[in-house]
Structure 1
């Protein structure tokens, strides 16, 4: 293969601004970062928040996604809908006989979890602060969901023809009426909302306690957030939604950058912040290099229309003419289940979305309206819903 010729003179010219470690562009980024060294930087990874106060002060770190109390217990219930749907897909779409041993395994674990579930468990052992006062409701919801899941799986194991998309929707996910008084779709809304409520409450309280100057703060959402294709725009990132809500929308969108390729730190263990401290310079560099290009554009092209983050149009899925959507639907009322369940469908089908983002924005908004008191928040699918416990 013939080597590609590169003119050394033009390569040096290219490197003078762009590629060389001491290039003009790199110097500009470093100079901007030096000027912003006293500005607070908030960094969110896939599992933690770190606040770098600036001026060489030590960072503060708090976990939000993987370690909190009740996360796995609640998510286990959230996932019963897609778990059963996966069994249906294995049998009907793929003809895969592994659905049966998987159904038997799932049935056994559902029964075990139902036996372990109680209000006392949620109140005294799991003990999520944001759920205080709701433990009896949550236990009833979990008991009911385990019961109807076991009933459906038992019927499918007795007669595999029963395991199909029609019965999945009619007898499990949607239902309605005596056999299924509360659709499992509503349970999924409630559990997703509760998870968003807990994270928003804990992190919102932590952020507000830092007394961040949001108008000048630098915010970076770094690395992978959930599945590989998701959460790379502020409209599809539940973390971005959380930060905006905690700032009471004082944080300008133009000061928050989502950087999926930025370096990240592992969750600190035993209070060891050495890795977090070591990355401050690089993380500030990512934010500042991005920002200085923005400001350079304004100086170069003044008089031309400037970029501004676009407002989002929320479609009304109650309109019969709306059969497809590309943005999260509007929610008419706090228990608008057609819109809320449509959000569940969207986060599964739209690869841009985080699965956790279905209702997190609603939880954050509701918390703000309740003056950050989770006890005063209406939880769709749970508040004012009666879950029978005699199934």
Structure 2
């Protein structure tokens, strides 16, 4: 390349004083009073705008009940992984099965209604503690029974027995996995919606960045596959335009604040505002340059219907007709495993959010599928 061509290239981009960078800064300067919401995989920060300090709400691993319920959710894939290990000729399946069996027995002994009511004490689960304890007991009992049979006769450990004796059926682990995923989403959506309501966000002007890695490296990078984006959109009750939500897996993130120290969160505001506004500046060029041509608008996702048993394949999460639609709910469990775009924990986030919204954010009025 000649120097003249390089200078032409940097005149618009790749330079701090380029035209593109100047436009981005101009848009940022005019948006400083607007609320900015930045969500990581575990926390949400709200920058109110106008120089006011941020606030943060943790919604995942720093909250009560998440790891307890997730441990139960993992029983299905854990046992299925043992089946695969044996099929691959890995002798280590037995040691892993013995470890899992010991942990399941210990968990079953520690589980009780009182544990969920008095120690875990999640507000969204009030009145459901006995049902949750019974669910955990059934899951542990089923897992312990299956593992014991497999350790006594390894030929028993197969995909056929896994599905027939462990996963399927009204009291199978599939239903328990649906229930635990839903309970986690119920709690998270309940708290986040209440937190946003208390802050009276001007949603029509809100700037949203879903920042950093959300799960496995290929997951949650679009509006339709990001459970965090789904949660924020649900909390806005339809007031947040989808076009103002940017999923940015390479955006900077902050660690979960410790001891109320929000200095790291506050320090990121300028960079996150510049990221959102720089993206927005390019988007807004479309109207300037191409007025009169069809404009882009975010489309709604049409979910496939799997009520017909003849449906054998889907390319998106299926629609859920009701809390009793176990065919759709279990199909979603399969989709989040096989579709690398999906977050494993996001299989029922949208259904939990919609159920809560319909109940006026009152979790006592929500039916938990599989519970």
Note the C-alpha offset of 1:226: 1.1
Secondary structure in structure 2 of the residue aligned to 1:322: coil
Output one character per residue of 1:35-88: Cα deviation in whole Å (capped at 9) or x when no partner: 101111011011110000111100011111111001111111110000000000
Return the match for 2:100 from 101, 106, 122: 106
Note the C-alpha offset of 1:203: 0.9
Output one character per residue of 1:134-158: Cα deviation in whole Å (capped at 9) or x when no partner: 1100001111111111000000000
Cross-structure match for 1:68: 63
1:214 aligns with 2:208: no
1:84 aligns with 2:79: yes
Cross-structure match for 2:192: 203
Secondary structure in structure 1 of the residue aligned to 2:304: coil
How far apart in 2 are the matches of 1:51 and 1:333?
33
How far apart in 1 are the matches of 2:61 and 2:322?
31
1:32 aligns with 2:32: no
- The 5 Å alignment of 1:37-52 reads 37-52=32-47
RMSD: 0.8
Cross-structure match for 1:387: none
- The size of the alignment, in residue pairs, is 371
Cross-structure match for 1:142: 136
Note the C-alpha offset of 1:20: 1.1
Note the C-alpha offset of 1:9: 0.9
How far apart in 1 are the matches of 2:77 and 2:310?
27
Return the match for 1:302 from 269, 291, 309: 291
How far apart in 2 are the matches of 1:298 and 1:231?
29
Return the match for 1:256 from 238, 245, 252: 245
1:336 aligns with 2:325: yes
How far apart in 1 are the matches of 2:265 and 2:165?
50
Q: TM-score, normalised by structure 2?
A: 0.99
Return the match for 2:276 from 280, 287, 307: 287
Secondary structure in structure 2 of the residue aligned to 1:72: helix
How far apart in 2 are the matches of 1:182 and 1:268?
40
How far apart in 2 are the matches of 1:265 and 1:155?
46
How far apart in 2 are the matches of 1:365 and 1:224?
25
For structure 2, list consecutive stretches of 5 or more residues without a partner in the other structure: none
Note the C-alpha offset of 1:111: 0.3
4+ runs deviating over 6 angstroms: none
Note the C-alpha offset of 1:333: 2.1
Cross-structure match for 1:225: 214
Return the match for 1:246 from 235, 260, 264: 235
Return the match for 1:95 from 59, 75, 89: 89
How far apart in 2 are the matches of 1:158 and 1:267?
45
- The 5 Å alignment of 1:110-189 reads 110-174=104-168, 176=169, 182-189=171-178
Cross-structure match for 2:301: 312
Output one character per residue of 1:317-357: Cα deviation in whole Å (capped at 9) or x when no partner: 12244211111101122210000000010011101001111
How far apart in 2 are the matches of 1:347 and 1:223?
20
Secondary structure in structure 2 of the residue aligned to 1:235: helix
How far apart in 1 are the matches of 2:110 and 2:328?
33
Secondary structure in structure 1 of the residue aligned to 2:265: helix
- The 5 Å alignment of 1:302-381 reads 302-381=291-370
Note the C-alpha offset of 1:275: 1.0
For structure 1, list consecutive stretches of 5 or more residues without a partner in the other structure: 1-5, 383-391
How far apart in 2 are the matches of 1:132 and 1:110?
25
Q: TM-score, normalised by structure 1?
A: 0.94
